[in-house]
Amino acid sequence: MNINIRNKKAYFEYHILDKYTAGIKLLGTEIKSIRMGKANINDAFCAFLNGQLYIRNMHIAEYHNASFYNHESKRDRILLLTKKELKKLQNSSEEKGFTIVPLQLFISERGFAKLEIGLAQGKKVFDKRETLKERDTKIELSRIMKR
């Protein structure tokens, strides 16, 4: 049961400065859907509301075996971090140009859903071009090495 849902777009769009691992407050049907691999964090983002950090726009598909106790697929979910980490993230995210993005959703060894979030700064267009060039050169080198 190796669930590892990544946000590849985040690494292309942002410079990741700091990484944190946060727990997520979920319902029973949500964790079952995540264990089946039916979640998407590509369009998700994190925001502070009333002093708590929420992940918004994260899609967790409805659990097909649930009856009328099913969950909403795109509801706001609370992220569980220590007070010190929350304070640090809130101060950093209030600065201009910084945001908090989800990077990876995984299941811990104890069976809990965890979310790796990153404090990020947006890339400029020329930085994105550099990333594409580096990726292309890596692919070319690997092709040459195979021959």
Residue 94 is predicted with a pLDDT of 87
Regarding beta strands 4-6 and 39-40, do their DSSP bridges make them parallel or antiparallel, or are they unpaired? unpaired
> pLDDT digit of tens for each residue in the chain (147 aa)?
678 899 988 888 899 999 999 999 998 888 888 888 889 999 899 999 998 999 999 999 888 877 777 777 788 999 999 999 999 999 988 888 899 999 999 999 998 999 999 999 988 888 889 888 999 999 999 999 998
Residue 104 is predicted with a pLDDT of 93
Residue 16 is predicted with a pLDDT of 92
Residue 120 is predicted with a pLDDT of 92
Distance (Å, rounded) from C-alpha 20 to C-alpha 81? 9
Distance (Å, rounded) from C-alpha 6 to C-alpha 32? 18
Residue 47 is predicted with a pLDDT of 92
Q: Which two tokens stand for residue 126?
A: 């020329």
Query: pLDDT per residue over 22-64, tens digit each?
Result: 999 998 888 888 888 889 999 899 999 998 999 999 999 888 8
Residue 1 is predicted with a pLDDT of 63
Regarding beta strands 98-107 and 59-60, do their DSSP bridges make them parallel or antiparallel, or are they unpaired? unpaired
Q: Which two tokens stand for residue 36?
A: 């089946």
